[in-house]
């Protein structure tokens, strides 16, 4: 994606004034009337970058990874909302025709909060209460920014137009230009008596409690969008969206890989040799595992449908139980004698060593043991 900040030569946290200043400087240098045909393409790139970064909503979309000027982008392509007026302003400090007052009520910013959940909530889904600190509509003035009992007043300087005209001299002669009204900052109205609660901004910060439906199958990094639950805009404008980013806490027993769960079950060598039925505590409750006689170390017993729910679709993953056969490290005389008799009966008193190719699972276990991925 094209980096518009780099094209204008400004930092990502540059103010609107810095962006405008950088654009004017480049546009004067690269305009085809000055630089000729060689600078035409660069001039278009600079104009496109200014179109996006000078518009708060388009700039926010770009900062979130969406190019609003690209084909199919949220803001349309080059040439929409940017034309002769912007070029005229670059050279003469004003615009072509007055564009009218700027609305006081503007959309608020999106907000991001993080929510920690456990494996059971990720598996089955959950409903959580979440406390967020955001800007909300001022309850004293209902968002208009005026002290109760008062109202905005038409600006006497611009007569409500939001801009003023002036005559400027240029190489073309005398030119009528427009500029935002300094008395009302382009709003066309002034607040004679600001609200004491919000200082005329129309919004205050407050802590709210929201209910969040966490669907089954979410994982660390999943974002849940709560429309119109973000920051209320200046002047009591519409709220942005709130994004809840999920962080899943590690479980003491189960390891998640995708929608499947994995755990290790330690069984004595006698149980592995003879077979047995064991009870395993799963997220769904106790489940019986039938170990066949002759179960080998590293063997996997799969319990279908006991994993994590699928985020997009029905059903769940599986629970994979990895069998680990434990060998006794100390035997009493009686136990030792029994094993010697078993070895004799099986002709294994002095077994011949047999070398075989290492199974890939051996390397996987070694990698996990030493912290590799």
Quote the CA–CA distance of 235 and 107 in Å, as a whole number.
9
Q: Which domains does the chain have, with CATH numbers?
A: 4-82 (1.10.287.110), 130-248 (2.10.230.10), 255-369 (2.60.260.20)
Question: Model's pTM, two decimal places?
Answer: 0.64
Q: Is 158 annotated as a binding residue?
A: yes
Compute the distance between CA of residue 87 and CA of residue 265 in angstroms, rounded to an integer.
72
Specify whether the CB–CB gap between 63 and 12 falls below 8 A: yes
State how far the Cα of 262 lies from the Cα of 302, in Å rounded to an integer. 9
Question: Is 263 annotated among the ligand-binding residues?
Answer: no
Supply 339's token pair: 């094993």
The answer to whether the annotation marks 146 as part of a ligand binding site is no
**What pLDDT does 80 receive?**
40
Inter-residue contact 109 to 60 (CB < 8 Å): yes
3 state DSSP class of 112 = strand
184 is in an annotated binding site: yes
* CA angle (246, 116, 212) in 5-degree steps: 65
Per-residue pLDDT of the chain (373 residues; tens, 9 = 90+): 688 888 899 998 899 889 998 888 887 777 666 666 666 788 888 888 888 899 888 888 888 777 777 655 544 443 344 444 445 444 444 444 446 788 999 999 999 999 999 999 999 999 999 999 999 999 999 999 999 999 999 999 999 999 988 776 665 566 777 888 999 999 999 999 999 999 999 999 999 999 999 999 999 999 999 999 999 999 999 999 999 999 999 999 999 999 999 999 999 999 999 999 999 999 999 999 999 999 999 999 999 999 999 998 899 999 999 999 999 999 999 999 999 999 899 888 887 777 777 655 544 554 554 454 4
Which segments of the chain are extended strands (E)?
A: 111-117, 126-137, 153-154, 163-170, 173-180, 189-190, 203-214, 223-226, 242-248, 255-257, 260-268, 276-282, 285-291, 300-303, 319-326
- Which residues 6+ apart lie within 8 Å of 235 measured at CB? 103, 104, 105, 106, 143, 144, 145, 201, 202, 203
Instruction: Give the residue carrying structure tokens 């392509």.
Output: 77
- Residue 34 CB coordination number (10 Å): 12
* Cα–Cα dist 123/211, whole Å: 19
Is 181 annotated in a binding site? The answer is yes
What are the angstrom distances between the C-alpha of 259 and each of 124, 212, 313? 12, 22, 12
Report yes or no: 289 and 301 within 8 Å, Cβ to Cβ: yes
CB 4 within 8 A of CB 52: yes
Give Cβ neighbours of residue 130 (< 8 Å, ≥ 6 apart): 113, 115, 209, 210, 211, 212, 244
């Amino acid at each position: 994606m094209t980096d518009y900040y780099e094209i204008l030569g400004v930092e990502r946290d540059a103010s609107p004034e810095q962006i405008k200043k950088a654009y004017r400087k480049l546009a004067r240098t690269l305009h085809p009337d000055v630089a000729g045909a060689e600078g035409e393409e660069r001039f278009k790139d600079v104009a496109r970058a200014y179109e996006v970064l000078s518009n708060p909503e388009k700039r926010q979309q770009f900062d979130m990874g969406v190019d609003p000027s690209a084909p199919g982008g949220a803001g349309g392509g080059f040439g929409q909302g940017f034309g002769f007026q912007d070029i005229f302003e670059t050279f003469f400090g004003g615009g072509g025709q007055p564009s009218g007052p700027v609305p006081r009520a503007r959309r608020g910013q999106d907000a991001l909060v993080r929510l920690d959940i456990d494996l059971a909530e990720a598996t089955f889904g959950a409903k959580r209460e979440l406390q967020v600190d955001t800007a909300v509509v001022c309850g004293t003035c209902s968002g208009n920014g005026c002290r109760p009992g008062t109202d905005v007043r038409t600006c006497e300087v611009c007569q409500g137009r939001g801009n003023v005209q002036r005559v400027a001299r240029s190489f073309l002669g005398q030119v009528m230009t427009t500029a935002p009204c300094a008395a009302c900052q382009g709003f066309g109205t002034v607040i004679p008596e600001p609200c004491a609660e919000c200082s005329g901004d129309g919004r205050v910060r407050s802590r709210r409690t929201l209910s969040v439906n966490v669907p089954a199958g979410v994982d660390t990094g999943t974002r849940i969008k709560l429309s119109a639950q973000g920051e209320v805009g200046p002047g009591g404008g519409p709220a942005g969206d709130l994004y809840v980013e999920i962080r899943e806490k590690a479980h003491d027993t189960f390891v998640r890989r995708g929608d499947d769960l994995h755990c290790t079950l330690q069984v004595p060598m006698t149980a592995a040799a003879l077979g047995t039925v064991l009870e395993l505590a799963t997220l769904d409750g106790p489940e019986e595992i039938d170990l066949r006689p002759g179960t080998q170390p590293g063997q996997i017993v799969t319990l279908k449908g006991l994993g994590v729910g699928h985020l997009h679709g029905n059903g769940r993953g599986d629970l994979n139980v990895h069998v680990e056969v434990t060998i006794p490290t100390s035997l009493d005389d009686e136990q030792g004698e029994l094993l010697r008799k078993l070895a004799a009966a099986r002709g294994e008193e002095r077994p011949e060593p047999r070398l075989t190719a290492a199974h890939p699972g051996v390397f996987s276990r070694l990698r996990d043991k030493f912290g590799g991925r």
